[in-house]
Amino acid sequence: MMNEKPDVLVTLPMFHVPLEEFANRFNLHSLWQADRPEELLQRLGPGCRAAAVRDNFTADMMDQLPGLGLIAVCGVGYDEVDVAAAIQRGIKVTNTPDVLTEDVADLAVGLMLAAGRRIVKGDRYVRSGRWVTDGQMSYTGRVQGQRVGIIGMGRIGCAIARRCEAFNMEIAYHNRNPRTDVPQAYKGSPKELAAWADYLVVVLPGGPETHHLVDSDVLEALGPEGILVNVGRGSNVDQVALIRALEQGTIGAAALDVLDGEPEVPAGLLAIKDNLILQPHQASATFETRRAMVELTFANVKAFFEGSALLSPIPEHGG
């Protein structure tokens, strides 16, 4: 029938944004609510041409939906989607850049301040009564005027740099390629950047190329007063090396929004109390940004079914 709403597979809840408003236009199928996900995929079969996705989407799932033409990822990072398999099958992939940039940068700077000024430790100090029994808490280093090294000077990295300028910080960065359109100094390797920096902020994509880019050597170069902040992907940092570095005082402190193997947290990380701050992957989790991410995801789905240009195809499509 000409006017029938197109089927769209939705693999996971789109955060807390209700999907009813998109159901006017699309016939949404919630994979995570299906009693038998395999049966749902089989029933949808070649008739399902689009999927709205959070996190992973495998080649096997693509093969179960042979009519698929679009995977719309609700997130800027798409490292859990098998992009090579999608391209091989002629499937387009979109993501949600820009709409989350400023909120992620806010949390990164919040973590720098919290780790540098030991804000969480201070909260515990007051609540445990130590202010009364032990007097004033120990001093911390400064944030303002310090050196911040950003690994991943892309959209979010630049937004972090803009905020750091307001703190009179010196800023340098490392990417695979130096940028000609930013004023900050380029460092040729994560280790060189870490050796220069007081704060090392990681805001990288996931995947094999960035796996453990921050390793024991980089942490050693950051040094005993240095502070690591990760808002990229957990896999960017060698977590075993990080635990050791925090235990042994090789670095001063860390604040992590993302963990390798999240949401599981290794006991070694949980055991570190004073100089580690953990967040449950919250950097884009504001009402406004999450709504904008879901809207952009479905705007891409709409464009796909209308045959118009996709709003935010991933760079691998040349977009």
Q: Tell me if 238 contacts ligand NAP by CB under 6 A.
A: no
Are 101 and 77 spatial neighbours (Cβ–Cβ below 8 Å)?
A: no
List the interface residues with ligand NAP, window 50-89 (CB under 6 A).
76-77
Tokens representing 224 are 């005993």
Are 8 and 301 spatial neighbours (Cβ–Cβ below 8 Å)?
A: yes
Kindly provide the b/e burial profile for residues 8-32, where b requires at least 16 CB atoms within 10 angstroms of the residue's own CB: bbbbeebeebebeebeeebebbebe
State the binding partner of 177 from ligand NAP, ligand 8YV, none, CB within 5 to 8 A by kind.
ligand NAP
Pick the binder of ligand 8YV from 49, 75, 197, 237 (CB under 6 A). 75
Q: Which residues pair with 228 in a beta bridge?
A: 200, 254
Residue nearest to ligand NAP (CB): 154
State the binding partner of 154 from ligand NAP, ligand 8YV, none, CB within 5 to 8 A by kind.
ligand NAP
Instruction: Kindly compute the dihedral angle of the four CA atoms of residues 19, 234, 60, 290, in this order, to the nearest 10 degrees.
Output: 10
State the binding string over 167-206 for ligand NAP (x if CB under 6 A, else -). Answer: -------xxxx-------------------------xxxx
* Helices 101-116 and 119-127, axial angle in degrees (round to 10): 60
List the interface residues with ligand NAP, window 136-155 (CB under 6 A).
152-155
State the binding partner of 54 from ligand NAP, ligand 8YV, none, CB within 5 to 8 A by kind.
ligand 8YV
Pick the binder of ligand NAP from 7, 82, 257, 260 (CB under 6 A). 257
Are 172 and 161 spatial neighbours (Cβ–Cβ below 8 Å)?
A: no
Say how many C-beta atoms besides its own lie within 10 A of residue 132's C-beta: 8
- The residues carrying an active-site annotation are 233, 262, 281
Give contact residues for ligand NAP (rule: CB under 6 A).
76-77, 97, 100, 104, 152-157, 174-177, 203-206, 209-210, 231-233, 257-258, 281, 283-284
